[in-house]
């Protein structure tokens, strides 16, 4: 029994669950979405909170530029670029037998400095928030000071009395661990069994304590929480519930506004924006989507993408059970090659806060992710890890769903004016040997795909 009902009863009541359990690739557009003006109030955080996070990141910029030379080009602002993907767009449209309407773009969080993934937004913001709170309270800095002083021996000795703990599938651990160790904190990362060896090695090389578990992400998080509970000097970064992570992610939106302006990309009621966000526990995509809704309102449509083996946010929102349920309860194993997305239980905070602001959810299988890693590299020369491509199929899932588009009142003219942005959440730090394996796997899957989909006519040519 799952919450008082058998699996059969769940499947009868929610036919989509049957497909999820069968590990099919699905798309679900939530009919219960509401206008931004109404639903933003669900979140419990405001524009002022995002501004506060943004200003904090600005205060730390001189320090970051000093200690992380790869942030110096943007003067200590940790940000990634955008780029059009015309060739991948043509290919995806062709495969789905749809016209390649609008323009497909990539947000390259894979290239974010410090930790090479979207976690360099939220994770670093939360560590900086905690460091700032401690340092201000101790009289080490004021909000008006140049924070470069935090790189000195005095500040590092001060932070060394404090601990930071986090549970992670890898990327959040990298981001929290690297930032914490740089400031001088004693950092512990509780790693789930699916975390890659190179991430553990890198953290240990930075002086971070890595504790490994044979279980999944939820257990790693629980262990981090336990470590901090009985130790007043230990601060726990709560990936399942943290507003500071969420706000760090949300700052991305105001930066995207500037980037779109420079690129000549218009977003308004006649020029809709669709954003495809890979989703693990939900903080990253949730925070980014919150920021996007604040700046673009109803002109932006956010779609979350999850692996077929870990559809936790879709399951939580669709059933209304949120963090009261995990995918394992439905017999789904939560085993996927998509780093960062192998999460069985969604954030209850994000699921509830964002459910009327997120247009839809889609699931993608690992084979498709590898194939897309290969295609994106081959056609656009971009280097993304499998999880970072989870959003790519969203483009044609949206274009192919006439019921959804009609419900939104979007005509062919709107779609021709539309921008579709794949949030490329990670990849640049994947070691070359590992990336070569991804490419080889993707290439083999592409060859099989071409054989399976070529018509007898073309095969005979
Ligand atoms: C963590 C992560 C995500 C998703 O973020 P959540 O906050 O866990 O939902 C997406 N892509 C990559 C590469 C990640 O590391």
Q: What is the pTM of this model?
A: 0.96
Cβ atoms of 25 and 308 closer than 8 Å = yes
Q: Which two tokens stand for residue 253?
A: 């939106």
Residues 6+ apart with CB under 8 A from 67: 151, 182
Domains and CATH numbers, the chain: 7-115+246-454 (3.40.50.1100), 119-243 (3.40.50.1100)
pLDDT in tens, 214-266: 888 888 889 889 989 989 999 999 988 999 999 999 999 999 999 999 999 99
Residue nearest to atom 14 of ligand 1 (CA): 340
Q: How remote is the CA of residue 277 from the centroid of ligand 1, in Å?
A: 9
For a pocket test of ligand 1, which of 310, 311, 340 has the largest count of ligand atoms closer than 8 A to its C-beta?
340
Q: How remote is the CA of residue 146 from the centroid of ligand 1, in Å?
A: 32
Q: How remote is the CA of residue 1 from the centroid of ligand 1, in Å?
A: 30
For a pocket test of ligand 1, which of 114, 125, 238, 278 has the largest count of ligand atoms closer than 8 A to its C-beta?
278
Q: Residue 331 above 70 pLDDT?
A: yes
Q: Residue 193 above 90 pLDDT?
A: no
pLDDT in tens, 107-150: 999 999 999 999 999 999 999 999 999 999 999 999 999 999 99
Q: Residue 461 above 90 pLDDT?
A: no
Rounded to whole angstroms, the Cα distance separating 302 from 322 reads 18
Q: pLDDT band at residue 458, thresholds of 50, 70 and 90?
A: low
Displacement of CA 208 from its chain's centroid (Å): 23
Q: Which residue has the higher pLDDT, 420 or 1?
A: 420
First to last CA, the chain: 55
Q: How remote is the CA of residue 217 from the centroid of ligand 1, in Å?
A: 12
Q: How remote is the CA of residue 280 from the centroid of ligand 1, in Å?
A: 5
The residues lining ligand 1, judged by C-beta closer than 6 Å to any ligand atom, are 117-119, 171-172, 278-285, 339-341, 387-388, 425-426
Distances (CA, A) of 97 to 89, 94, 399, 461: 12, 5, 10, 21
- The per-type count for the chain, helices as H runs and strands as E runs, is 21, 11
Cβ atoms of 76 and 60 closer than 8 Å = yes
Rounded to whole angstroms, the Cα distance separating 453 from 459 reads 10
Residue nearest to atom 15 of ligand 1 (CA): 340
Rounded to whole angstroms, the Cα distance separating 275 from 92 reads 16
For a pocket test of ligand 1, which of 189, 243, 277, 279 has the largest count of ligand atoms closer than 8 A to its C-beta?
279
Rounded to whole angstroms, the Cα distance separating 278 from 422 reads 9
Residue nearest to atom 2 of ligand 1 (CA): 340
Measured from the Cα of 283, ligand 1's closest atom is 7
Cβ atoms of 106 and 89 closer than 8 Å = no
């Amino acid at each position: 029994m799952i919450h008082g009902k058998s699996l059969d009863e769940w499947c009868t009541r929610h036919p989509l669950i049957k497909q999820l359990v069968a590990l099919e690739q699905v798309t679900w557009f939530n009919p219960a979405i509401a206008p931004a003006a109404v639903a933003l109030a669900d979140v419990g955080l405001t524009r002022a909170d995002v501004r506060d996070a943004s200003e904090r990141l600005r205060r730390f910029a001189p320090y970051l530029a000093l200690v992380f030379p790869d942030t110096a080009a943007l003067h200590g602002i940790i940000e990634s670029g955008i780029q059009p993907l015309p060739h991948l767009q043509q290919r995806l449209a062709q495969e789905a037998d749809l016209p390649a309407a609008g323009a497909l773009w990539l947000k390259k969080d894979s290239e974010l400095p410090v930790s090479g993934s979207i976690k360099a937004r939220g994770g670093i913001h939360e560590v900086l928030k905690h460091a700032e709170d401690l340092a201000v309270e101790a009289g080490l800095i004021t909000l008006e000071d140049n924070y470069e002083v935090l790189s000195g021996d005095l500040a590092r000795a001060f932070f060394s009395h404090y601990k930071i703990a986090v549970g992670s599938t890898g990327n959040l651990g990298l981001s929290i661990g690297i930032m914490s160790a740089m400031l001088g904190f004693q950092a512990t990362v509780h790693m789930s069994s699916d975390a890659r060896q190179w991430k553990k090695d890198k953290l240990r090389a930075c002086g971070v304590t890595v504790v490994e578990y044979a279980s999944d992400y939820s257990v790693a998080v629980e262990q981090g929480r336990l470590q901090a509970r009985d130790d007043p000097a230990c601060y726990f970064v709560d990936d399942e519930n943290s507003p500071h992570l969420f706000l760090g992610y949300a700052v991305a939106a105001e930066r995207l506004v500037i980037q779109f302006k420079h690129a000549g990309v218009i977003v308004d009621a006649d020029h809709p924006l669709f954003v495809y966000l890979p989703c693990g526990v939900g903080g990253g995509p949730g925070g980014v989507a919150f920021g996007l809704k604040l700046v673009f309102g109803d002109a932006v449509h956010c779609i979350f993408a999850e692996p077929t083996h870990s559809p936790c946010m879709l399951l939580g929102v669709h059933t209304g059970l949120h963090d009261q349920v995990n995918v394992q309860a439905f017999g789904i194993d939560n085993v996927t090659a998509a780093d960062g997305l192998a999460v069985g239980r969604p954030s209850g905070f994000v699921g509830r806060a964002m459910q009327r602001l997120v247009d839809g959810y889609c699931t993608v299988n690992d084979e498709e992710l590898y194939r897309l890693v290969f295609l994106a590299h081959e056609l656009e020369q971009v280097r993304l890890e499998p999880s970072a491509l989870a959003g790519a199929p969203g483009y044609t899932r949206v274009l192919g769903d006439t019921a959804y588009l009609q419900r939104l009142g979007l005509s062919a003219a709107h779609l021709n004016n539309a921008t579709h942005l794949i949030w490329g959440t990670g990849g640049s730090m994947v070691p070359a040997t590992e990336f070569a394996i991804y490419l080889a796997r993707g290439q083999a899957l592409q060859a099989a795909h071409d054989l399976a989909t070529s018509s007898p006519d073309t095969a005979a040519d």
